[in-house]
Structures are given as structure tokens and as C-alpha cells.
Amino acid sequence: MTELSASDLAARVDASVPIPAATEAELWEWFSRLEPWRLAAVAVEPAMVGLASKWFHPRGQPVCGLIAYPLGAMTTGAKVVQAEQALSDGADELDIAMDLSAFRSGDYGKVVDDLRTVRWLAGDRTVKCIYYSSLLSESEGLEAAALAVEAGITFLKTNPGYGNVTAPEQVAAVRRRFGQEVRVMASGGIRNRAEALSMIASGADRVATSSLVGVLGG
């Protein structure tokens, strides 16, 4: 299995808020717990981006805004408004949920146009597309990933969390299909260091977790 120091692993982790509907006081407390680590990004919902940016930007820590989370069931216009607000509030990266209903309905043009619009809006910032590997067959998941790549998104995120668990085999399948053409984030059900390292060994460039202590310790 891949071996990494705690600090090297932290640099490949996106940390997400572990408390549903966190209060502002709970957010500040959580933010303070992340201070010892230099993470790949801190991922928060659009309404939290401004607070997160005020805390983390002076510390040199990137902030990621979650768009159309978790199932992508929003109009393109609504996603644009969310993305514009997140970027205005200081988001350094965006994670956008693919319109899963459109994908499952076979409306691939809508899927691509939707993603391409936000990709263009973000400029040179990193944009990751959540494509729901745990809700699709392997072939469907690879097709969804291919649509994201067609839209110009080259960072794929397996799942949004919320009970959707990523298997190392799903990461490996995407890596085999796209090689180094894309970057991959494993997300969903990663609760400890061994699981995170297993995802990296399978080809993940980053992992996402709301269980930072389990993954990094401390």
C-alpha cells in the first residue's frame, strides 16, 4: 500500500464539514481544528464560502465551494448564480454535481452544456465534477466521467458523500479509462488512513473526507 507522511497525506485531502447544518459557532470551532494541517482544500457549501475564506485565506489555505450539491438537480442558471456567488466570496475551487437526472434520462447534451458553462465561468480555477460512481454501473460511471471530460472538466470526483461509498475499484476503473488525462478525487465513506491510502494506491490524486481525525490523526 502507498505510504505517505501525515503532512503529505494532508496535502492530498479535501476536508468537508462533519456537522449537518452547522451553526456559525460550530463552523469557527471546526475551522480552528484544521489549523495544524495544510490541506488540498477545505470544502464548504456556498453559504459558508465567505466565512471559510475569511478564516483560511490569511493562512494560505484554499477553499472549495460545493455547487448544486449533492444531486445536481438545479437549472444551469441556478448553478451559475451559485458559482458566481461562491467565486465572489472567495472560492479557489468549485465542486459541481452533475445533473444525475439528465444523465440517467440520456440527455447528455444538457449534462455537457451544464458543466461547460460553470467550467468556463471558473476560469483557471480547479473545477471537479461529481459523477456518482456508487449510483451507476461501471460502464455508466465511465460514460458520465467521459461527459465531464468532454465539457472540459479534468478533475473527477467519484461521489458527493451522503452515504454514497466509493470503492477502490471505481477509482482504478477511471484511471484505466483516462490514464493521466484526468485527475481523480475519491469521495464517500473514507473514514481512516488505511482507506485513504487505498484510494491513492488505486489512482486517486486526492481524497475527500469529513472524518479528518480518522484519516490524519491528531
What pLDDT, on the 0 to 100 scale, is given for residue 133? 94
**pLDDT less than 50: residues of the chain:** none
- Each residue of 67-76: pLDDT tens digit? 998 888 899 9
Residue 67 lies in a domain: yes
Nearest to 133 by CA among 102, 117, 106, 156: 156
Question: For residue 176, what are the domain limits?
Answer: 6-210
Residue 143 lies in a domain: yes
Tell me the C-alpha to C-alpha distance, in Å, between residue 192 and each of 16, 199, 209, 210.
Answer: 14, 11, 9, 10
Residue 1 lies in a domain: no
Instruction: Give the ranges where 17-130 is alpha helix by DSSP (H).
Output: 24-34, 49-56, 76-88, 100-104, 108-121
The answer to whether 96 touches 125, Cβ cutoff 8 Å, is no
Q: Structure pTM?
A: 0.94
CATH of the domain at 79: 3.20.20.70
What pLDDT, on the 0 to 100 scale, is given for residue 163? 76
Task: List all residues 6 or more positions away from 101 whose beta carbon is below 8 Å from its beta carbon.
Answer: 71, 72, 73
Residue 199 lies in a domain: yes
Give the total number of structural domains in the chain: 1
Tell me the C-alpha to C-alpha distance, in Å, between residue 61 and each of 35, 179, 214.
Answer: 9, 29, 21
Residue 217 lies in a domain: no
Instruction: Enter the C-alpha cell of residue 139.
Output: 460502464
